Amino acid sequence: MKRFFPLIFLLLFLAIIAGANIYLSRRFNFYFAIENTRLLYLAFPATTAFMVFGMMPLSNSTKRWGNIIYMLAAIVMGVLLYLILSVLLVEAVNIFAHFSPKNRGILALAITSLVSVYGVFNAWNVQVTQQEIGITGLSKEIRIMHLSDIHIGHFRGKIFLEKIVRKVNRQNVDAVFITGDLFDGVINLSKESLAPLTDIHKPIFFVEGNHDKYSGVQMVKNYLTEINIHVLENEIYHWNGLQIIGLNHMAADSETFNIHTTGQKNTIKSTLESLSPDKSKPTLLLHHSPDGIQYASNHGVDLYLAGHTHAGQLFPIKYIAGLIFQYNKGLHSFNETKLFVSQGAGTFGPPMRVGTKSEITRIHLKPIK
């Protein structure tokens, strides 16, 4: 049954897209009394096709034209989402307000424009959030910065990373932990893009994410290693009294379906069993997605850092993400294990955030006797 999940999801997605196209075509024909009714019935599907085929085949394009098409298609994805939501909102309000058809159309377009522009600006406004977490057995206070899902690629590059590094350096932390999806595509995959990280004169630890894999994970790791970043690959590293476990991106166990890790033999369960971490030591686990916390807890992990979810990134998708991911954002507890899920510093697909925020998190680890 698991192997049919991607197909079921695809069919459901296509059905929703088809219904949305028909609905928008009919509404805008009605709003603006367009005589040629075929015009919108062709325009909306064509725009949707541009969105799909402009993103999927070109996600790893290094050509200038490919980059432009990908960026336009990703923006169109966000705009279309808020166009249909704006139309639905206007139609609901119109039950009581009774606007003319033309005014309804203008209002829907205005709301779409405002929300889309806000979403772009909100996505670029990276916020520093704060967390304080107690760790049993820790000998002293440690301040760390958690970064995740920066997504250097079509929309973001060296300048964006420089902005993040400046914020990190102002926080006076002892170390930086990056839990994957540093890259999103190969267009900016270079050692030069990572140069800003050398301005952080503290230890930096990295584990891969699914988008790093799509971009060329070995090259990503090679570049990071060359600038003296600790790349952890299913291993344990001891630093400053902490036992740090760094895992490659993998499913929780062999029974758990994960579209990003299909075909992999290693799981969080099996890898932790083979590593056999010392349960008596204060332990930090790094993994891209917030999976397998029960296995982390079984092996004495005190704090599990993850990202991946983007907290859903866009309204109302953030509520769907809350249903898909048991731990979607923020701080959670499972037995004696704390789990912190970052909303991420970057974005995937539309360069927008509505109802979520781009964040990097300063975590103050305090000893618990």
User: Cα–Cα distance between 70 and 211 in angstroms, integer?
Assistant: 16
The pTM assigned to this predicted structure is 0.93
pLDDT tens for each residue of 164-183:
999 999 999 999 999 999 99
- Answer whether 180's CB lies under 8 Å from 348's CB: no
| 242-246 and 235-239 strand pairing | antiparallel
Could you give the CA distance from residue 319 to residue 312 in angstroms, rounded to a whole number? 7
Tell me the pLDDT band of 202, cut-offs 50, 70 and 90: very high
Cα–Cα dist 56/210, whole Å: 15
Last residue of a domain, one of 123, 151, 171: 123
- Which range has the worst mean pLDDT, 28-32, 162-166, 241-245, 281-285? 28-32
How far, CA to CA in Å, does 325 sit from each of 187, 289, 320, 328, 329? 30, 9, 9, 5, 9
57 & 107 share domain: yes
Contact 245, 277 (CB under 8 A): yes
Domain total of the chain? 2
Taking residue 286's Cβ as centre, other Cβ atoms within 10 Å add up to: 23
Residues 96 and 151 in one domain: no
Residue whose structure tokens are 């800003």: 196
Residues 160 and 52 in one domain: no
Contact 135, 167 (CB under 8 A): no
Q: Is the pLDDT of residue 64 over 80?
A: yes
* Residue 92 lies in domain: 2-123
Residue bearing tokens 């779409």: 112
Residues 321 and 271 grouped into a single domain: yes
| Nearest-5° Cα angle at 334, 332 to 340 | 30
Burial 139-177 (b: 16+ CB within 10 A, else e): eeebebbbbbbbbbbbbbeeebbeebbebbeeeebebbb
Q: Provide the Cα torsion 137, 139, 142, 147; round to 10°.
A: -40
Judge if 207 and 326 occupy the same domain.
yes
Q: How far is the CA of 170 from the CAs of 152, 161, 164, 167, 302, in angstroms?
A: 22, 14, 10, 5, 27
User: Which whole-number Å values give the CA distances from 326 to 140, 154, 191, 311, in the listed order?
Assistant: 32, 30, 36, 11
Q: Which of 243, 242, 244, 287 is nearest to 268 (CA)?
A: 287
User: Residue 145: its pLDDT value, please?
Assistant: 98
Rounded distance between C-alpha atoms, residue 285 and residue 148, angstroms: 14
The mean per-residue pLDDT over the stretch 307-319 comes to 95
Separation CA 230–CA 209 (nearest Å): 15
Contact 256, 239 (CB under 8 A): no
Domain final residue, candidates 80, 98, 123: 123
Chain centroid to CA 71: how far? 17
The per-residue pLDDT for 3 is 56
CB 365 within 8 A of CB 141: yes
Question: 32-36, 65-69, 144-148: which has the highest mean pLDDT?
Answer: 144-148
pLDDT reported for residue 44: 87
Mean pLDDT along residues 40-55: 87
Same domain, 135 and 254: yes
pLDDT of 56 reads 84
Report the CATH number that the domain containing residue 206 is assigned in CATH.
Answer: 3.60.21.10
| Predicted pLDDT of residue 18 | 83
Q: Mean per-residue pLDDT for 218-247?
A: 96
Picking from 72, 98, 123, the residue at the C-terminal end of a domain is: 123
The 10s digit of each residue's pLDDT in 133-152 is: 999 989 899 999 999 999 99
